[in-house]
Amino acid sequence: MLWKESYEIGVPLIDAQHKELFRRVELFLQVLRSEVCWDEKVQKVNETLEFMKGYVVEHFRDEEEYQQSIGYPGYEAHKQLHTGMVEYVLEFSKKYEQSNNDEQLIQQFGGKLLAWLINHVAAEDQRIADYAKKKG
Ligand SMILES: [Fe+2]
Ligand SMILES: [Fe+2]
C-alpha cells in the first residue's frame, strides 16, 4: 500500500478521499504493469480517466471548501495546483484519444499520476494541516 498514515491531515472526509485516491492509482499502476491483455489495460485507463474527472474533481472541491472554512492563506495557490492537475488530465485524455491508445503515453500518464499524488498529498495538502494545527 502506497498510502501512509502520516499523510492524514486530520479531516475525516479529506483523509478518506485521499486514501481512495491512492487505492485507485495503485490499482491502475498494478494493471498497467501486469501481464493482462492490452484491451484490459485500455479499459482500466478509461476507468481511471473517468475517476479522475469525477471523484478527483469532487475531492478538490471539498478540499478547497475546507481550506476556505479555516481561512487557509495558501488557498489561491493551492487551487491553481488543483486546476493544473485537472487540465493535465483533460489534455492527456485528448491526446490519448487521438493517439489510438498509445502504450507509451499511458505509461507516462501512470507515472505522472503517482508522482503528482504523492507530492501533492504528502507536501501541499500537508501544509493545510500544519496551518490548522498552528491556528488551533
Ligand atoms: Fe487533496
Ligand atoms: Fe490539494
Ligand 2 is an ion; its neighbours by CB within 5 Å are 63, 125
Is there a domain that residue 49 lies in? yes
Ligand 1 is an ion; its neighbours by CB within 5 Å are 63, 125
Q: How far is Cα 86 from Cα 92, in angstroms, rounded to an integer?
A: 10
Is there a domain that residue 43 lies in? yes
Binned at pLDDT 50, 70 and 90, residue 100 comes out as confident
What is residue 21's predicted lDDT score, i.e. its pLDDT? 96
- pLDDT at position 102 over 90: no
Is there a domain that residue 69 lies in? yes
Q: Which amino acid is at 95?
A: K
Binned at pLDDT 50, 70 and 90, residue 1 comes out as confident
Is there a domain that residue 7 lies in? no
Is there a domain that residue 90 lies in? yes
From first CA to last CA, the distance across the chain in angstroms is 31
Ligand having the closest approach to the CA of 13: 1
- pLDDT at position 50 over 90: yes
The pLDDT of 51-71, averaged and rounded, is: 96
Is there a domain that residue 5 lies in? no
Q: Which residues contact 118 (CB under 8 A, 6 or more apart)?
A: 2
64: domain CATH number is 1.20.120.50
Q: How many CB atoms lie within 10 A of CB 54?
A: 10
Instruction: Please report where in the chains the cell 479555516 appears, as a residue.
Output: 70
State in Å: Cα 122 to ligand 2 middle. Answer: 10
Instruction: Please report where in the chains the cell 493544473 appears, as a residue.
Output: 84
What is residue 3's predicted lDDT score, i.e. its pLDDT? 94
Is there a domain that residue 120 lies in? yes
State in Å: Cα 66 to ligand 1 middle. Answer: 11
pTM summary value: 0.93
State in Å: Cα 100 to ligand 1 middle. Answer: 31
Which domain, by its residues, includes 127? 13-28+38-135
State in Å: Cα 35 to ligand 2 middle. Answer: 33
The pLDDT of 112-130, averaged and rounded, is: 96
Q: What angle do CA 14, 17, 52 make, to 5 degrees?
A: 125
121 versus 39: which is more confidently predicted? 121
SS3 assignment, position 54: helix
Please write the tens of the pLDDT for every residue from 27-49. Answer: 999 999 999 998 899 999 999 99
Whether 132 and 10 have beta carbons less than 8 Å apart is answered as yes
Is there a domain that residue 111 lies in? yes
**Structurally, how many domains does the chain consist of?**
1
State in Å: Cα 39 to ligand 2 middle. Answer: 32
